[in-house]
Chains A and B, each alone.
Chain A
Amino acid sequence: MAKTILIPTDFTVESLNLAKTALENNSNTTEKLRIILVYGQWTSSSITELLFYSKGQILEVLENEEFKCSCKMLLAKYESIIDQMSIDIFSGTNQNAFENYLEGNKVTEAYIPRNYKLKLKNRNSFNLIPFFTKSKTQLFEVNWNTVSLENSENQKNEISSLFFTHGQIAH
């Protein structure tokens, strides 16, 4: 049976360090891994917008070139253990919805950052970390220190921010 890992993302390359650490942590398993990168964004309450709601389009706006490149790099590296890697939007409003989401996707593990704050891309977005911390699933906190001493805003999105970070699970 495949193991499903849930990872919050903010569509920056740096946040993919979570996925990288998660994959490293599981690199010796015989099970195939399903990785879900999740982002919190409420759906609109307007009926017309809901009528033409397309997750693909929303993700298309949120993703950027570097993020996609980095995802491909991760896939190339761990192609033998990754069964599927997908990006999803969670739009629930309370803890129960989140628990349902975990159950529905059969999530077995989740990884959250300890010293990195996920950024919100727009007004409808919300922080998913509180849901993660309150949930009953097995949770790993990941700590990584970037090599560059000061992180300026634009550097977060360079492909290089996936490297030289030495992510480790904090205990």
Chain B
Amino acid sequence: MKLQNKIIYILLTAFIGYTLLFSGFIYYSISIFAFTDFYKRLEIRAIATAKIELEKQKDSNVVQQLRQDYLEPLTNEQHLILEDINEETVVNDPRLDKYNKSFLNEVVTEGIGTYSQQNVFIYGTIYTTPDQKNHLVILSAENYFIANHLAYLRNLIFTSLAIAFLLIVVFSIMFSRKIIEPIQNIIKKTKKIGSENLHMRLEVPENNDSVRELAQTFNDMLNRLETSFETQKNFISNASHELNTPLTSIIGEADVSLSKLRKPEDYIESLNAILDEAEKLQKKTQALLLLAQTGFDGKRQKFGKVRMDQLILDVKETVEKIQTKNKISLDFSLLPENPLLLKVLGNEQLLHLAVSNIVLNACKYSDGQTVNIALAVMDGSIIIIVKDNGIGIPSDEIDYIYDPYFRASNTKNHEGHGIGLPLARNIIRIHDGELRVSSTLNKGTTVEIHLPKGDFVL
């Protein structure tokens, strides 16, 4: 069953059940009230009539006056008084033939009896005069209220039920549409997103409810999908970019050693250097393979304790080997006293790759000026700040810096592939971190890497 119909049916049953119960109760209690009320009125009349007819006293005139003035005349009111009756034989009296026998018995034994025939209501009682004689008084009248008003009430209830039904149907259809509409929108939009336009995102509604959560969850999923698609697509270019640096130094080292005949120690030294670079190359290949194979499923990567200050020192060393003309200055002035705060749950090679990419970029675009790296901790997250005084990024291009192969318009004089930063961002994302870049053109760029602290205990 469609969800919309389901909502309509549930609402209909609930509302109609409630209205039926409500109107049934009202109808029932009104009719009960009408019956008892009418018998009360008959009783008053019966006693008043008996008083007038049987007690020929002087104040009977007053009672008659009262009856005429204040008691509303009833339709078809008839009364019958049998004077001085014998309680055993009165039931068989021929004048009482038109009345129900069980009613007469009830009147004789209980003193009071009532019954109704269609619209005619009959009330009987035994009236005792002061001279200790018993008289049978029977009063009958048509109940105008039951005959007309109750029928009117019934009609009224049926009409209002019909109107209520229509209203409820309209209301529940509108309600279910309103509920379903945002979900339908999400479905429509999600259908539009395919592998070729993964950059599209769902609109997140303003109000804070489950639909908003749903849209956000979808967007998060799309984020992950997009990054994973991107890395898959750019794996070869990433790899070649990353592998090129060590290869260049290997080739350079070998070239220099081969340029003329050297002493054995020189060869050992250069071979050691080559070995170092080759090992680095192997590490990078492994890391990139890991990245590609595991996609962005964070759980399948080997995560361990990484001490960020150590990592930054390593990065500094690596970068200084590649970029010899830059001076890198470290600011550890705000390092916390507790070393546990500096540990991140992560993959050391990948983090090394990410940070060294950012520092290398800072060196590359700052033409030999000092590059500053700082490390600080604030509750729960570790912040690495890389600041350079280089060429900066034009403000209208800062939104595109994470696109693979994108290179800002002012980088024409610098060699590069436009892969380092997206790769770094992907790695930071795997570690649930955040990368913030702010820049002023020709003044410098500041990159903040926020990483969540690993929950380690001593």
Contacts and interface: CB of A to CB of B under 8 A. Distances in A.
Contacts of B334: 20, 73-74, 76-77, 162-163
A78 B338 CA distance: 10
A152 B372 contact: no
Interface in B353-382: 370, 372, 374, 376-379
B221 to A, nearest CB: 28
Given A77-B337, A79-B338, A158-B438, A147 B387 contact: yes
Contacts of B331: 163-164
B288 interface: no
B446 interface: yes
Nearest to B448: A159
A163 B338 CA distance: 20
Contacts of A138: none
Given A20-B333, A24-B333, A80-B337, A160 B385 contact: yes
- Number of chain A interface residues as a range: 20 to 34
Contacts of A147: 370, 372, 387, 389
B392 to A, nearest CB: 11
A73 B378 contact: yes
Interface in A70-95: 70, 72-74, 76-80
B381 to A, nearest CB: 9
A148 interface: yes
B305 interface: no
Interface of A (DSSP majority class)? helix
Nearest to A79: B337
Contact of B336 (A20, A24, A70, A77): A77
B374 A160 contact: yes
Nearest to A78: B337
Interface of B (DSSP majority class)? strand
Interface in B322-338: 329, 331, 333-338
Contact of B444 (A69, A73, A148): A148
Contacts of B272: none
A91 B294 CA distance: 60
Contact of B329 (A24, A76, A160, A164): A164
B341 interface: yes
B389 A148 contact: yes
- Number of chain B interface residues as a range: 20 to 34
Interface string A148-171: 111010110011101110000000
B440 interface: yes
A80 B378 CA distance: 15
Nearest to B336: A76
Contacts of B446: 158, 160
Interface string A14-58: 000000100010000000000000000000000000000000000
Contacts of A149: 389
Given A20-B334, A24-B333, A79-B336, A72 B379 contact: yes
B374 A164 contact: yes
Contacts of A73: 334, 376-378, 383
A27 to B, nearest CB: 10
Contact of A152 (B329, B378, B440): B440
B443 interface: yes
Contacts of B333: 20, 24, 77, 163
A69 B448 CA distance: 13
Interface of B: 329, 331, 333-338, 341, 370, 372, 374, 376-379, 383, 385, 387, 389, 438, 440, 443-444, 446, 448
Given A73-B383, A147-B389, 13 more contacts: A73-B334, A76-B336, A76-B376, A76-B378, A77-B337, A79-B337, A147-B370, A159-B448, A162-B334, A163-B331, A163-B334, A163-B374, A164-B372
16 contacts: A72-B379, A73-B376, A76-B334, A76-B376, A77-B377, A78-B337, A148-B389, A149-B389, A152-B443, A159-B376, A160-B385, A160-B387, A163-B331, A163-B334, A163-B376, A164-B329
Interface of A: 20, 24, 69-70, 72-74, 76-80, 147-150, 152, 154-155, 158-160, 162-164
